[in-house]
């Protein structure tokens, strides 16, 4: 019950403040208030106020309201903490006779101080077109999105080879670009930079599908050992250890399959052979060569 009453009281307070803020500007007839049209976020400034006596001052911002009693005839100081959030502000001044005057001004974002940088994906196959997306959001020190155009420099530093950069202008606070992955696997660092602000991310470029998959067979009695050449993609990058390679043998005894992971760059397996055997190798959806073993090679 007490809780409900407390909530009702708070709701009434908010309603009263809302009515006050809506109605007061309509009474704005008295002394005029001259405010700058645009102020930078976090920048303290003063508003000259004419007249004499006491007045009530209201500052209505996007995320807070300030109310204080001020003396007319002197400058009204606006603290930097009162204008940290970018957006439209309204100043209302009401004198003792309840005669009010108002003015509006804009607070724009300050200088770039933070970059929120999204780089996608975190892993990408090499030599893939338009596979890397980079987006940088530019904020000031109070985390206001800076809407005025600014040039963001995307610097790309591959693990091997020369780095390069691309300058992109922000639109509505965001700069983005799309690029191809390079032909070599490894870490690629992408740094978004604007003035003295930098934010770095890392992409792992990984080998693409296997290419030219080949195996060779070494017979020993009734056993045959199959071993792939180093498994690489079409750009010559080694597929990572742990990648599964499938060997399939068909002979008189039936069909035998072994899915074995690549170890130290190659995949190896041993089969017993019963007469003529046809053996094939595959990695994912990529087929390799076939060998035929006739009990002996």
Partner 1 sequence: MKWALVGFLTVATALLVAYAWLQSGGLKQHAMFSSATPEEAVHALMSEIQAHNYQQAYASLDRSSDTDLASFIRDVAGSDGSLRTYSSLQTAEVSPLHANGDQALVRVRMNWSSAVGSLDDVRDLRVLRDGPVWRVVWPKPAFSKVPLQVVSVNYLSWDVIGRNTSQKWGAQDVDTPKVRITSMNAISRPGRVVILGEVENEDTVPAYLNVTATLLKADGSAIDEEGSFDLISHVLLPKQVSPYRIDFPGVRMDAVKSVRMDARALLVPASADPVIAVMDQKVSKDGLNRNVLEGELVNQSGRPVNIAQVLAAYYDNSGKVIWVSDGYVDQALMPQVSVPFAVDIPDDIAERMKSYRVIVNHYSRSSS
Segment lying near partner 1 (by CB under 8 A), choices 26-34, 36-44, 67-75, 281-289: 281-289
Least distance from C-beta 263 to partner 1, angstroms?
7
Q: Is residue 211 within the footprint of partner 1 (CB under 8 A)?
A: no
Distance CA 250, CA 295 (A): 12
Residue with tokens 């780095």: 163
Window 106 to 125, contacts with partner 1 (CB under 8 A): 116-123
Q: Is residue 236 within the footprint of partner 1 (CB under 8 A)?
A: no
Q: Is residue 255 within the footprint of partner 1 (CB under 8 A)?
A: yes
Give the x/- contact pattern for partner 1 in 75-104, rule: CB under 8 A.
------------------------------
Can the peptide bond before residue 7 be classed as cis, meaning omega within 30 degrees of 0? no
Least distance from C-beta 283 to partner 1, angstroms?
5
Least distance from C-beta 152 to partner 1, angstroms?
14
Q: Is residue 210 within the footprint of partner 1 (CB under 8 A)?
A: yes
Q: Residue 221 or 242: which CB sits closer to partner 1?
A: 242
Window 124 to 153, contacts with partner 1 (CB under 8 A): 137
What is the enclosing helix (H) or strand (E) of 13? helix 2-23
C-alpha dihedral sign at 20, 26, 30, 35: positive
For 187, phi then psi, to 5°, come to -70, 140
Q: In what order do the strands lie in the sheet with 268-272?
A: 215-220, 223-228, 268-272
Q: Is residue 263 within the footprint of partner 1 (CB under 8 A)?
A: yes
Q: Is residue 51 within the footprint of partner 1 (CB under 8 A)?
A: no
Q: Is residue 207 within the footprint of partner 1 (CB under 8 A)?
A: yes
Binding residue for partner 1, selected from 56, 157, 260, 289, defined by CB under 8 A: 260
Binding residue for partner 1, selected from 106, 198, 259, 290, defined by CB under 8 A: 259
Strand ranges (E), 61-210: 65-71, 75-78, 87-95, 100-108, 112-120, 123-125, 132-140, 151-158, 164-169, 174-179, 186-194, 197-206
Classify each residue of 206-219 as buried b or exposed e, where b means 16 or more C-beta atoms within 10 Å of its C-beta.
Answer: bbbebbebebebee
Three-class SS of residue 279? Answer: strand
SS3 sequence, 197-223? EEEEEEEEEECCCECCCCEEEEEECCE
Q: Is residue 172 within the footprint of partner 1 (CB under 8 A)?
A: no
Q: Is residue 253 within the footprint of partner 1 (CB under 8 A)?
A: yes
Residues of the chain by 3-state class (helix, strand, coil), percent to 5: 10, 55, 35
Q: Is residue 279 within the footprint of partner 1 (CB under 8 A)?
A: no
Chain positions contacting partner 1, by CB under 8 A: 116-123, 137, 201-202, 206-207, 210, 239-246, 253-261, 263, 269, 283-285
């Amino acid at each position: 019950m007490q809780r409900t009453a407390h909530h009702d009281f708070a709701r009434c307070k908010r309603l009263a403040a809302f009515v006050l803020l809506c109605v007061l500007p309509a009474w704005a007839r008295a002394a005029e208030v001259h405010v700058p049209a645009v102020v930078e976020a976090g920048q303290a400034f003063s508003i000259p106020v004419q007249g004499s006596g006491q007045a009530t001052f209201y500052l209505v911002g996007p995320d807070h309201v300030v109310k204080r009693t001020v003396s007319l005839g002197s400058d009204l100081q606006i603290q930097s903490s009162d204008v940290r959030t970018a957006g439209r502000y309204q100043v209302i001044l009401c004198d003792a006779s309840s005669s009010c005057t108002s003015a509006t001004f804009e607070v724009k974002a300050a200088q770039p101080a933070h970059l929120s940088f999204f780089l996608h994906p975190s892993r990408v196959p090499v030599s893939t077109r338009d596979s890397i997306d980079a987006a940088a959001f530019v904020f000031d020190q109070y985390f206001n999105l800076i809407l005025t155009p600014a040039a963001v420099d995307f610097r790309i530093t591959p693990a091997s080879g020369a780095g390069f950069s691309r300058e992109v202008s922000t639109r509505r606070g965001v700069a983005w670009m799309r690029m191809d992955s390079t032909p070599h696997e490894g870490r690629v660092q992408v740094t978004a930079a604007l003035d003295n602000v930098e934010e770095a991310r890392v992409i792992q470029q990984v080998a693409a599908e296997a290419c030219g998959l080949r195996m060779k067979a070494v017979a020993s009695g009734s056993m045959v050992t199959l071993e792939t050449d180093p498994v690489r993609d079409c750009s010559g990058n080694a597929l990572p250890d742990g990648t599964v390679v499938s060997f399939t043998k068909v002979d008189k005894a039936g069909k035998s399959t072994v899915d074995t992971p690549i170890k130290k760059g190659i995949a190896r397996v041993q089969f017993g052979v019963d007469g003529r055997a046809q053996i094939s190798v595959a990695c994912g959806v990529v087929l390799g060569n076939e060998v035929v073993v006739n009990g002996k090679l």
